[in-house]
Structure 1
Amino acid sequence: MTSLKLDAGYTPPKKDLYKAFAASLSGTSLEWYDFAVYSAASALVLGELFFPAEDPYVATIAAFSTYAVGYVSRPIGGVFFGRLGDKIGRKKVLVYTLLLIGIATFLIGVLPTHSQIGITAPILLVLLRFLQGIGVGGEWGGAVLLSSEFGDPNHRGFWASAAQVGPPIGNLLANGVLALLTGMMSEESFLSYGWRIAFLLSLLLIAFGLWIRLKLEDTPIFRALQKTGDRPKKPVTEIFRTQKRALFAAVMSRLGPDVFYALYTVFILTYATKSLGLERSTILGAVLIGSATQVITIPLAGWLSDIINRRTLYAIGAIGAALWAYIMFAIIESGAFWTLALSTVVAGTCHSLMYGPQAAYVVEQFTPRLRYTGSSLAYTIGGVFGGAIAPLMFTLVAGPEINPLPVAMYVTGACICTLIGLFIGRNSAPHEDLAYMEELEKVRQH
């Protein structure tokens, strides 16, 4: 039997821990590839192909509005899949979300454009983006719990960061594929069929993710909840009745990272190509470098948050992001590739200081029996008010002339909201997990 001591922490078999880390990392990476490829394509081609307008500015706003649909639909996925995750288990739900996102992304890749089927094309695009968002809304909470609930709760910052590395890897893959396609093809070929290849590749990636997740058993914490019968009957109702402060703190903490991420991975594509007149391949390459850096800085930040106070590290990242939003626009005016790359690396590092500890911070706001629901609600609601409307708001406040100052001010406001969320939230409480594991051991022994 495993000895469980509160001062030492619970350590599961390393084999299970590594498998859970890999399943969380690979699954979120593949799902975020699907989500990120749409995000990048919305800035590069989707406005022109699905929302034709005489004014390119209007077409861009329309494309970013559809981008927002993927965030607005997330709370539906958060409520539906979060509730299931607390009732039937983390693993089963994560298989369902992976399938949903993969199929929706593949169908976008074969979708006829406005010139082929008229108004039906943007309607179907919005519907598929909506389904993508539902899947992502249910994915994040489960992926975080998959890795963090297999690990020692005293080191949750590092283990939970597995799910956080998924977005930059997904963004790296998506922008890498698009950069390769735009570099190899003519403008005409890319607009005709090249962009579709990036979406169609998702089918192979999702198959790989399913293979990994189906081989893993559910988390020790959920198995403890099963054994003790301590699963909630109405988790959503219970969250709003008993953990309103926790939910508010977690939602607010999400706003700064989401808005800042949209700035240096999505809006920067529009700004660089339309205001600075740079080639698509140039800015995609710069974003690629920034995303590659985060594959290292996110787990590093998660690890650091286990050593120093998690909220303090998170706050440092929020302050850094608020300041860099102004500096970034100033230094990329030259249009030099390495200046662009440096700006995305620094931006990614500031984001990592928030995003690395974020999974652990959000999870720790809720008790284990309500964790999937609470985390999913916080993630999806925060996404609606943060990342969903950010590119659209950036475009609106910047105006047709693309003035970067109002955009930087918008980022500052979001980071202030994050600081408020950190101030009212609570610190890590590993004893809650350890108590559940001790109960599971007692059941096993009897």
Structure 2
Amino acid sequence: MSTVTNPTSFQDDPEYAANLRRATLASSVGSALEYFDFALYGLMTALVFNRLFFNPDDPAIGLIGAFAVYGVGFVARPFGGFFFGTIGDRLGRKWVLVVTILLMGGASTAIGLLPTYDVVGAWAAVLLVVMRLLQGFGAGAEQAGATVLMAEYAPVRRRGFFSALPFIGIQAGTLLAAVVFSALSLMPEDAFLAWGWRLPFLSSFLLILIALFIRLRLRETPTFIELEKHEQVASHPFREIFSSGMPGVIAGIGLRMAENGGSYIFQNVSLAFVAGTFIANPVDRGIATWGVTLGSLIGIFSVPLTGAISDRVGRRPVYRFGAVFMLLFAFPAWWMLSLGNPVLTIAVIAIGLGVAVNSMLGPQCALLPEMFGNRHRYLGVAMAREISAVLAGGLAGVLGTWLLTLTDGNWVVMGLYLATLAAITTASTFLIPETRSRDLLRTEDALRLSTNEKDTGLVSVVVADGR
């Protein structure tokens, strides 16, 4: 596809700048809602749902069952990613994001209305599974859409920074969930278990209204408009991704193992470990949650910072730093968690999330969209994100609690588990080309560059992208 080599700065185009602001806000609110719901559900899983939606006579089975239901949401995500990703590549990014926010937010709100085990017995868990399936189906395309939307709107030389900005919403949503949960933990336990836990889920309805208002005013991305203009929109993006895009999908899955798996291990499994029966001196659940809060505060700065650094030094070096940091941190982190010291617990969780995880998330926001061609970018990003979400994040709770139960709370197995995820991601950073500044109008994937093309990461620039 031809490109324009006489770019105008996006700062000089008021319409472009306004749409860039709307895209940032639209993506941020959706990210905040998704991660508010998912972080909140994770916190409730470790400390509430196992007691309310399962037979209270068997706490160990209840904990594993609660995390299994948590994992069900991840199982649904790839199907949502496949379905909505295909639509996003055929019909555009904007309307998919409108539908997914309604589906995801509506299911989250409904969780706050569900009856518990004491009221309907085993049906409580069944209804929870249904809501998690719907929530996961919508979330399967939400983050992929936000990632693609911002990468396609962002100015090329600052794509890492701008693409990372909406993911402050991830930190804000996680932070909000942790603060809300900590505040609710101050309630008398009977009131908290009776009705207090429902309040944050019901409040998701307000975030849905805000997100809808913003997204309905958003214009389609410049790169998709270019595809339509040149009549190059893929009629079968699913077929294309399997014929030419699988190397990028597999590489993307590898890149996400430590970032996604590590995120849920530090947010959820660590809380179940330190606040449960696995250690001799359990840490109060409210105190342990402050580690998630502090980690999210750090992430508000570390995500855009590492995204901006990747604009200067490249995506791979920054991503590799985060993966290696987590690899080296894995065993010391779980040893310190096993001590039952509240200060160490908060510090470990905060560093694990704020530094290790978010040093990968920052450059990832631009890296994944840059790895795929324009005709199947939405679907490619969705598949890489959501298959990895099942393999890494979805299994983290079930496999982590099962390993801890099997070994009577031996912290070494969790250190090994986390280190394995980090090693996979570290290796994956050596298998991908540098994508910094790649032209997003290109239709071929970064991993399938022609042999006569130098992979310098420098390409011509396009007026439509504000470069």
Superposition TM-score, scaled by structure 1 size = 0.93
Aligned residue for 1:132?
135
1:83-137 per-position Cα deviation (integer Å, ceiling 9, x unaligned): 1111111110001000001110111100000110112111110010011111110
Q: 1:38 to 1:110 in 2, by over 3 A?
A: same
Shift of 1:379: 0.5
- How far apart, CA to CA, are the structure 2 residues paired with 1:209 and 1:23? 6
Do residues 283 (structure 1) and 288 (structure 2) align? Answer: yes
Mapping for residues 157-168 of structure 1, pairs under 5 Å: 157-168=160-171
Mapping for residues 165-180 of structure 1, pairs under 5 Å: 165-180=168-183
Of 52, 57, 72 in structure 1, the residue corresponding to residue 55 of structure 2 is 52
1:222-242 per-position Cα deviation (integer Å, ceiling 9, x unaligned): 111111111111101101101
1:395 is paired with a residue whose SS is: helix
Aligned residue for 2:425?
418
- How far apart, CA to CA, are the structure 1 residues paired with 2:237 and 2:441? 21
Shift of 1:17: 1.5
1:399-438 per-position Cα deviation (integer Å, ceiling 9, x unaligned): 2621111011011111121123222222216453366999
- How far apart, CA to CA, are the structure 2 residues paired with 1:115 and 1:147? 45
Shift of 1:441: 6.8
Of 220, 235, 249 in structure 2, the residue corresponding to residue 233 of structure 1 is 235
Alignment-mate amino acid for residue 379 of structure 2: T
Aligned residue for 1:16?
19
Aligned residue for 1:198?
200
Gaps spanning 5+ residues in structure 2: where? 444-458
Of 102, 105, 108 in structure 2, the residue corresponding to residue 105 of structure 1 is 108
CA contact (8 A) 2:40 2:178 kept: yes
Of 407, 411, 428 in structure 1, the residue corresponding to residue 435 of structure 2 is 428
Aligned residue for 1:381?
387
CA contact (8 A) 1:224 1:439 kept: no
Q: 1:95 to 1:207 in 2, by over 3 A?
A: same
Alignment-mate amino acid for residue 187 of structure 1: E
Q: Greater shift after overlay, 329-338 or 418-427?
A: 329-338
Of 297, 306, 325 in structure 2, the residue corresponding to residue 301 of structure 1 is 306
Aligned residue for 1:256?
258
CA contact (8 A) 1:175 1:287 kept: yes
CA contact (8 A) 1:27 1:98 kept: yes
Q: Greater shift after overlay, 314-323 or 52-61?
A: 52-61
- How far apart, CA to CA, are the structure 2 residues paired with 1:6 and 1:169? 38
CA contact (8 A) 1:87 1:231 kept: yes
Alignment-mate amino acid for residue 116 of structure 1: V
1:424 is paired with a residue whose SS is: coil
CA contact (8 A) 2:260 2:392 kept: yes
1:28 is paired with a residue whose SS is: helix
Aligned residue for 1:267?
269
2:434 is paired with a residue whose SS is: coil
- How far apart, CA to CA, are the structure 2 residues paired with 1:435 and 1:236? 18
Aligned residue for 1:85?
88
- How far apart, CA to CA, are the structure 2 residues paired with 1:163 and 1:251? 21
Shift of 1:4: 4.5
- How far apart, CA to CA, are the structure 1 residues paired with 2:112 and 2:326? 34
1:218 is paired with a residue whose SS is: coil
1:268 is paired with a residue whose SS is: helix
- How far apart, CA to CA, are the structure 1 residues paired with 2:17 and 2:78? 34
- How far apart, CA to CA, are the structure 2 residues paired with 1:413 and 1:360? 25
- How far apart, CA to CA, are the structure 2 residues paired with 1:82 and 1:109? 29
Aligned residue for 2:397?
391
Shift of 1:336: 4.1
- How far apart, CA to CA, are the structure 2 residues paired with 1:55 and 1:42? 15
Do residues 316 (structure 1) and 321 (structure 2) align? Answer: yes
Aligned residue for 2:453?
none
Q: 1:234 to 1:291 in 2, by over 3 A?
A: same
Alignment-mate amino acid for residue 350 of structure 2: V
- How far apart, CA to CA, are the structure 2 residues paired with 1:324 and 1:53? 36
Mapping for residues 24-63 of structure 1, pairs under 5 Å: 24-63=27-66
Shift of 1:296: 0.9
Shift of 1:299: 0.9
Q: 1:289 to 1:176 in 2, by over 3 A?
A: same
Shift of 1:338: 3.2
Q: 1:440 to 1:162 in 2, by over 3 A?
A: closer
CA contact (8 A) 2:283 2:341 kept: no
Do residues 70 (structure 1) and 73 (structure 2) align? Answer: yes
Alignment-mate amino acid for residue 123 of structure 1: V
Shift of 1:152: 1.4
CA contact (8 A) 1:53 1:59 kept: yes
- How far apart, CA to CA, are the structure 2 residues paired with 1:409 and 1:94? 38
Mapping for residues 327-406 of structure 1, pairs under 5 Å: 327-347=332-352, 348-399=354-405, 401-406=408-413
- How far apart, CA to CA, are the structure 2 residues paired with 1:79 and 1:102? 19
Aligned residue for 2:456?
none
Aligned-residue CA RMSD (Å): 2.2
Shift of 1:315: 1.0
2:372 is paired with a residue whose SS is: coil
Mapping for residues 136-155 of structure 1, pairs under 5 Å: 136-155=139-158
Q: Greater shift after overlay, 339-348 or 188-197?
A: 339-348
1:351-386 per-position Cα deviation (integer Å, ceiling 9, x unaligned): 111111112111111011211010001101111111
CA contact (8 A) 2:182 2:290 kept: yes
Shift of 1:82: 0.3
CA contact (8 A) 2:78 2:386 kept: yes
- How far apart, CA to CA, are the structure 2 residues paired with 1:64 and 1:35? 12
Aligned residue for 2:225?
223
CA contact (8 A) 1:140 1:163 kept: no
- How far apart, CA to CA, are the structure 1 residues paired with 2:378 and 2:10? 20
* Paired residue total: 439
Gaps spanning 5+ residues in structure 1: where? none
- How far apart, CA to CA, are the structure 2 residues paired with 1:314 and 1:440? 27
1:309-338 per-position Cα deviation (integer Å, ceiling 9, x unaligned): 211111111111122121122334554443
Structure holding more helix per residue: 1
